[in-house]
Amino acid sequence: MLKKFVDELTQLLWRQKPAWYLESLLQLVSPSFMAGFYRARILCLTSEADCLRLRLQVSRRFPLFIPGQHIQLRLQLDGRFVERTFSICSDVADLAQQELELAIKSQPGGLLTSRLPSMLRPGLFVHLSAPAGDFCFDSQRPAVMVAAGSGITPLFSMLVSARRLLRPVTLIYCYRGPKAPLFSKELAALVNRSNLLQLRLWDSQNGRLDLNQWLSAWPQSADTVFYLCGPAMAMQQWQQQIDSAGYGYNPIRQEVFGLLAASGSRSEVVVRSAGQDIYLSGQGLLLQRAEQSGLAVPYGCRRGVCMQCLCLKQRGVVRNVSTGELSTAGTEYIQLCNTEAISPVELTLTSEVQ
């Protein structure tokens, strides 16, 4: 046993970068150890409104989260670890029993989410990152919450964690089709529990939600905070409608699910890796183009949250498809998963940056 440990230690010191030493050595003793992640056991899985509700038992070391925050779920898929970012949807008080819940929307054709029902079962272990994000609830001010689809998850955590509402809250929840909205029973119970909470459901099969019209019918005070969570395109429309209704000066807090559509730009992109210049083929998002070109780059959430695909842009202009903003033409760090080249771009992977 000692000889095997020494042999593996020698190989690790020879092969690996210094940052990997400790994690690799600890995995010799505890194979489930992953630096920066917490082990969690699946308690139960249920399907509801095209989502998989995943109830987990977390370790005692798992940190306290603020309702509205998200975590990264790490799983092994086809021999490699894959990470995706999901908002926590449970009551923060559940952590007292070491429990936490996620509600995961199944994306048709998705690399991970479409396969989760067949991959997961009670008793299996997964890994979770520490909670992160600043999308949180100010209970001292009135609120209008607007969600679409699985965008309800962080808002539901905010509401179910509030022991008592102090100011009026209106939740406008857009869903689609005949299936009941996610958390329908729990939301009804919350409405019955507090006369300060109003719930308004909108089936998007009847057309897009017009917040401008809604705000005209139910005016809000100047100190109302708007909380928005849904697809990027819907969020842009909601912000424009809030502004046109005369509430452009009210605070808006938001959490974006998904990205704006890439324009399909084919601008030249060259990546400096291992002393070579690699020209990316294809079009669209830089991460997709790197993968199409056979370049292996680190990534995690693929939606601009986890920062694992960070790289250094030496020159050129890129568009952030999370926000629609254009970069400067100079040197700066960008994320590959949510940017596309608008002009010829030159990149250096962070592993190459000295």
- Judged against a pLDDT cut of 90, whether residue 127 lies above it is answered with yes
- Of 124 and 77, the structure prediction assigns the larger pLDDT to 124
Residue 135 belongs to some domain of the structure: no
Element (H, E) at 311: strand 310-315
Residues 180 and 147 in one domain: yes
> β-pairing, 143-148 with 169-175?
parallel
pTM of the model: 0.73
For residue 70, the domain's CATH number is: 2.40.30.10
The predicted structure's pLDDT at residue 232: 79
- Judged against a pLDDT cut of 70, whether residue 4 lies above it is answered with no
**pLDDT > 90: percent of the chain:** 46
Please return the burial class of 238, using the count of CB atoms within 10 Å of its CB with bins 0-12, 13-18 and 19+: buried
Count the domains in the chain. 4
Residues 42 and 12 in one domain: no
Residues 237 and 326 in one domain: no
- Of 13 and 189, the structure prediction assigns the larger pLDDT to 189
Residues 27 and 7 in one domain: yes
Report CA-CA distances (Å) from 329 to 228, 316, 319, 332, 335: 31, 5, 11, 9, 15
Domain that holds residue 198: 143-257
pLDDT digits (tens, 9 = 90+) for 190-209: 999 999 999 999 998 888 88
Average pLDDT of the segment spanning 45-70: 94
pLDDT digits (tens, 9 = 90+) for 35-56: 678 999 999 999 998 899 999 9
**pLDDT > 70: percent of the chain:** 85
Length of the chain: 354
Which spans in 91-246 are helix H?
Answer: 116-119, 152-161, 184-193, 211-217, 232-242
- Judged against a pLDDT cut of 90, whether residue 174 lies above it is answered with yes
